[in-house]
A = this chain, B = another copy of it.
């Protein structure tokens, strides 16, 4: 459902609303933004505008903090999530060609013998 995701990512909420929805102070919300955990948009007057997804993430952050995880930990969690998502996106965007598959299989066989060099093979692979 693409339209739903679009609606959830629409930046339509001012910080006052988000404070109530997430039960967080403005200071906390701005601090989490400063730490890169959320990226609310800005309107023409420089006011932060949040989406429902932002609210969800803030609630998540709150849970993590309640569980004793600190900013660094939460950052790492989101960094890994993003990395995984990026990999999946890449896989979807550029499915392997036959040539890729053949080269990968070739390299796998080479690696079996523990012969792999740090900079990659010094010989032509095909």
Question: A-side interface residues toward B, CB under 8 Å?
Answer: 12-14, 16-17, 21, 43, 49
With a cutoff of 8 Å between Cβ atoms, the chain B residues found around residue A49 in the complex are 17
> Which single residue of chain B is at the shortest CB-CB distance from A11?
B17
With a cutoff of 8 Å between Cβ atoms, the chain B residues found around residue A13 in the complex are 12-13, 17
Q: How far is the CB of A23 from chain B (nearest CB, A)?
A: 14
With a cutoff of 8 Å between Cβ atoms, the chain B residues found around residue A16 in the complex are 43
> Which single residue of chain B is at the shortest CB-CB distance from A14?
B14
Q: How far is the CA of A49 from the CA of B17 in the complex (A)?
A: 9
Q: List 9 A-B contacts (CB under 8 A).
A: A12-B13, A12-B17, A12-B21, A13-B13, A13-B17, A14-B14, A14-B17, A16-B43, A17-B49
> Which single residue of chain B is at the shortest CB-CB distance from A13?
B12
Q: How far is the CA of A12 from the CA of B49 in the complex (A)?
A: 12
Q: How far is the CA of A14 from the CA of B48 in the complex (A)?
A: 13
9 closest residue pairs by CB, A with B: A12-B17, A14-B14, A12-B13, A12-B21, A13-B13, A16-B43, A17-B49, A13-B17, A14-B17
Q: How far is the CB of A76 from chain B (nearest CB, A)?
A: 31
Q: How far is the CA of A21 from the CA of B49 in the complex (A)?
A: 14
